[in-house]
Amino acid sequence: MRTNKIFLASDHAGYNLKEDIKKFLASKGKKIFDLGPNNKNRVDYPDFAHLLSKKIKKERNQFGILVCGSGIGMDMAANKHKNVRAALCYNIKSTKLSRQHNDANVMAIGSRLTNKETALKCVNLFLKTKFKGGRHLRRIKKI
């Protein structure tokens, strides 16, 4: 899937994985907007989840990637925002279904629960998997 913008943010627990994801996406020629943090100093994950979520618009070609220790907090904070469908992606199947069935535009990853290799595979899959539409669209409209 072609994307115009990929927003990336983490907290201190997700900082190293965020940097790995940034390098991975850059190697694929993707345009990345790193919203921070810029170091491993302790920060509050909701601040970065809200910052990223405000950048996501209705257009289908903008995606966000959030990384914290478990991915859960970032996911919960992001889903407070209109037009954000954040999904906790912890393996290939959860990632694929988040896009095919839920048209997720933000993925949350837990750096303490998902190893780097799996996380990078999930990021790649998230960005190229298409939404199936059909009966799934009807359900999304109910959110």
Per the prediction, the chain carries an average pLDDT of 94
Confidence of residue 1 (pLDDT cuts 50, 70, 90): very low
Comparing 40 with 57, the larger pLDDT belongs to 40
Residue 58: the pLDDT is 59
Distance CA 68, CA 48 (A): 10
Residue 35: the pLDDT is 97
Residue 60 predicted with pLDDT over 70: no
Catalytic residue positions, numbered: 101
Q: Which residues contact 51 (CB under 8 A, 6 or more apart)?
A: 9, 35, 36
Structural domains present in the chain: 5-140 (3.40.1400.10)
Percent of the chain with pLDDT over 70: 95
Amino acid occupying residue 37: P
Confidence of residue 59 (pLDDT cuts 50, 70, 90): low
State the pTM of this model. Answer: 0.94
Q: What is the tens place of the pLDDT at every residue in 85-138? A: 999 999 999 999 999 999 999 999 999 999 999 999 999 999 999 999 888 888
In this prediction, residues 25-30 reach a mean pLDDT of 95
